[in-house]
Structure 1
Amino acid sequence: MPSRRIGTGALRNLKPETLARAIEAFEAGRLGAAARIFEAVAMRDDLISGLFLKRRKCVARLDGEVVALDESKTAQEHAKVLRDFYSSIEVENLADKNERGGLRMLVMQMMESVGMKYSAHKVEFKRKGSSLSAKFVRYPLWLFENTSGSLRLLECEGQLREGTELKEKEWLITTSDGLMIPSTIAYIFKHLTLRDWLIYCERNGMPGVKAKTDAYPGSEQWEAACKAASDFGAEFHAVFSQGTDIEAIDLSSRGALPYPQLVERMDRMLCALWRGGDLATMGGKSELGSTSQWYESSLIEEDDAENISQTLNMQIDKTVIELAFGNTAPRAKFILRLPDYESHLSELSVIERLAKIGLKPDPLKLAKRFGFPLKEEK
């Protein structure tokens, strides 16, 4: 059982050079350090966490379907076996036994490869009467190495020697974009900028208090003046006797601060990277023109769904049919059914033309019709 405690400080004192070394090791096949950083960033960064969840859930919410490849009796039998199989699978997470589910959970875990580059499940096939089922257990990426070009299982995290080869038909390996590599680079520079911005606010966000008094230092009147200055100026305060003065050194910026623009630049890049859009709709009210742009993200969803379907077809469907019918080619396959984007785009085209002649729709009804998230008014 892998320890969840090892590596929990992956972001503590993380610096650009540390991240660079971890990414270089990841690209060379030593996945552990970078995988821990990816996991921590995906959980703790507010924007990346939301984008990663949306990308995964957009595909996990799609309806799964088994389709026969022809009208033959064999194809129908293959389709029935696959339907029974996918309706009965069990899914777990090795690093968190509380995470259990079925097909939707499996797709969610497979979609982690979009960020992590790889997702690995150990598969235990089992018979239930005349039907087949399986238990999928997700293994964390930091328990693998990839120095040979194929994932190999380590006995423990941090192991330097070569791992154990994964047996064919016992593992489901999903590969995808690995967006956490550029995302963690954006994260660390955004984090450094936010830290400097916070320091600036702490140092310059509250004025100091300077008190002057004729009282002699150490007298009751002097102590009363000191207490008053302390009460009014919790962070910066000073008390001087008459005739004493001190010049303030103003460290505050006279122009626009660079921090907001840097943070916004990173956030825009992350939105474009994960969802194919930017922050255009995050800063104000929703406009009709942005709705059509939002539907461009359907291309990403379609590609993700196709990747999951093909991975299951090649690694799971084929094995299930072989176990049920012998060494024969599958005549049915599992697919994730996508919404009809073309009909949605046709409707949007009509609505846009109507809006140009002054017949603007109700934004709330329009958002509900197309499942578009509107910003809440405060």
Structure 2
Amino acid sequence: MADVFKGLVDQYGRPIAKAALKVEQAAPTSRGVRRHDAMHPAAGLTPGRLATILKSSIDSDPERYLALAEDMEERDLHYAGVLGVRKRQVSGLEITVEAGSEDAEGEACAQLVRDVVEREGFKDELIDVLDAIGKGFSCNEIVWDTSENQWMPKRLAWRDPRWFTFDLVDGATPLLRGDNGQPEPLNPYQWVFHPAKAKSGLPIRGGLARAVAWSFLFKSFTTKDWAIFCEAYGQPLRLGKYDAGASERDKDILLEAVSNIGVDYAAIVPVSMAVEFVKADIAGSHELYEKRADWLDRQVSKVVLGQTATTDAIAGGHAVGKTHDGVREDIEEADARQLAGSLNRDLVRAVVDLNRGPQKKYPRICIGRPDEEDVDALVKNVVQLVPFGLPVGKKTMLEKIGLPEPQKDEELLVAPRQPADPNAPPISDKNGADAAQAVNSSEVQTRRDAVERVTNDLLGDWEPLVKPIVAGLQAEIAAASSIEDVKALLAKRFEGLDVNALTEQLAQSAFASRLAGETNETL
């Protein structure tokens, strides 16, 4: 077949037809089953009808269930909000492409996939792929661009999930409702089929809408009752009074006037009649509806986001919510992993095969947050370990702390210079630098040893001067009963101190300290 790529088959072993890929398989039609008509099963929904819809979705007729899932996103603001957060958070994660091999061909295939994921609008299309989170699955048609003799996805076209059904045998293989209403298989290399596994089971039972449907139903009852309650008791009672001799005509006039006051806030009645407003006191009665609606919303938040802190007004919600970042981490990772798996299976392989032929190993799309690293701890460890011989690359450290390589003529930050040694011999040229440095080090060490010897000798001479003062002093202080006794004891001890000898020792110590300072050393 000239229309078939020679020897090329998809992941299921089906041959690839060129002509089929150039025509949209599931484009909408004005006649037939693929129409954008409106279905609103949420209107007048009852527990019995909901049970029937959910059951029929498993028995090969998912259309009404999928229409209900769409209806719920439009009618329930809370569900629409939290589901939107979950889809946008995953679609906004970092996308990277890993080459299947390290050779030139592997890198060329990886770059081809990078061109696809870096295309403008690709992340927005991922939101359509993630429509599966609510409905259980999504089918997005790959619209190919062959204008430059290459096969590149022009866009991923979202297709209404009501246009699809599943194989009656396995319940997992998606089938398109054809123009004649009969299911037909999806063309190979033309679809990204994404099943979202919020729970184990068939794709039609894996979405969140199935679990949220019952909360949606009960909340709709609650809000309806709440609206009736507010309409009936939220306004003051308008009580009309008439005389005992009033005619039926007069009564009708009064009733019409009282009724119009609630709508028009204006009415006229004869002088003989009166209208009295009785204040409605409903304190506490309406809280039942609000609490029930809030409780149902929190259950929806738990199943969609895995937590309630970022969406519901609960105590400590703001502080706790900042740690969750919208969607719980394990749910975000699972969604990202499943999404990457579907793209690698249905998009990456198709792009690589159509442009470069079958490969032993294909590039991989990876979706997720980059690993967070404690930069402060890293720098501290490097500073401590480099002096002990730890080899650390400059480029690696710059990448870790998020700094770019300095430009060629860019002014650099440097550590403050240490004061120069005035006694060190000058270094005249590069060839004599090592020798001069060796001489300098030797002289400094010699001076340091001399100063240390003199200092130790001076410190040793202190012992005979202070020995008469401190001998037995600790025991006498312990036996003293007051601070006055201690002062008197110390004064008596210092009476025998040789002041001249002490003065001489202090002078010699001061000279030794100055000598050490001149050599840039400390005692």
Q: TM-score range by the shorter chain?
A: 0.7 to 0.9
- Normalized per residue, the structure richer in strand is 1
Cα distance between partner residues in 2 of 1:233 and 1:104: 52
Secondary structure of 1:258 counterpart: helix
Note the 1:363-374 alignment, pairs <5 A: none
Decide which of 294, 313, 321 is 1:283's aligned counterpart. 313
Partner of 2:178: 155
Alignment correspondent of 1:30: 61
Q: Give me the whole-angstrom Cα distance separating, in 2, the residues matched to 1:117 and 1:325.
A: 33
The answer to whether structure 1 residue 173 and structure 2 residue 197 are counterparts is: no
Where does structure 2 lack aligned partners over 5 or more consecutive residues?
Answer: 1-28, 199-206, 273-277, 378-523
- Deviation track 1:59-118 (CA, whole Å, cap 9, x = no partner) reads 222233222244322221111221233345xxxxxxxxxxxx731122111100001101
Q: Is the 8 A contact 2:309 2:317 kept in 1?
A: no
- Once the two structures are TM-superposed, the CA of residue 154 in structure 1 deviates from its matched residue by 0.9
Q: What aligned pairs does 1:175-214 form with structure 2 within 5 A after superposition?
A: 175-176=195-196, 177=198, 178-214=207-243
Pick which of 123-132 and 179-188 moved more.
Answer: 123-132
Following superposition, the deviation at residue 210 of structure 1 comes to 2.5
Partners in 1 of 2:370 and 2:220 — Cα distance? 37
Number of the residue aligned with 1:50: 81
Match of 2:142 among 97, 116, 123: 123
What is aligned with 1:81?
112
TM-score (norm 2): 0.54
Contact 2:141–2:190 (Cα < 8 Å) also in 1: yes
The equivalent of 1:67 in structure 2 is 98
Deviation at 1:303, TM superposition (A): 1.5
Distance verdict in 2 for CA 1:207–1:341, change over 3 Å = farther
Matched, 1:3 2:35: yes
State the alpha-carbon separation in 2 of the partners of residues 219 and 261 from structure 1: 46
Change in CA separation of 1:280 and 1:261 when aligned onto 2, cut-off 3 Å = farther
Equivalent pair of 1:143/1:156 in contact (CA under 8 Å): no
Equivalent residue runs for 1:134-153 within 5 Å: 134-135=153-154, 136-146=156-166, 147-148=168-169, 149=171, 150-153=173-176
Unaligned runs of 5+ in 1: 89-100, 243-247, 347-378
Number of residue pairs aligned between Structure 1 and Structure 2:
325
- The higher radius of gyration belongs to 2
Contact 1:321-1:330 within 8 A present in 2 as well? no
Matches within 5 A, 1:255-294: 258-278=288-308, 282-283=312-313, 287-294=318-325
Shift of 1:22: 1.1
What is the CA-CA distance between 1:229 and the residue it aligns to? 4.8
| More displaced 10-residue stretch of structure 1: 212-221 or 294-303 | 212-221
Q: CA RMSD in A?
A: 3.9
- Structure 1: distance between partners of 2:144 and 2:355: 11
Q: What is the CA–CA distance in structure 1 between the aligned matches of 2:210 and 2:191, rounded to whole Å?
A: 25
How many Å apart are 1:190 and its aligned residue?
A: 0.5
| Closer, same or farther: CA 313–207 of 1 in aligned 2, 3 Å | same
Structure 2 CA distance for aligned equivalents of residues 219 and 36 of structure 1: 53
For the 8 Å contact 2:310–2:325, the answer to whether it is kept is no
Cα–Cα, structure 1 residues 115 and 154, in superposed 2: closer, same or farther, change >3 Å? same
SS in 1 for 2:188: coil
Shift, 1:295, TM fit: 7.0
Ranked by relative contact order (alpha carbons within 8 Å, sequence separation 6 or more), the top structure is 1
Of 180-189 and 317-326, deviating more is: 317-326
Change in 2 beyond 3 A, CA 1:179/1:342 = farther
Give, in angstroms, the shift of residue 151 of structure 1: 1.1
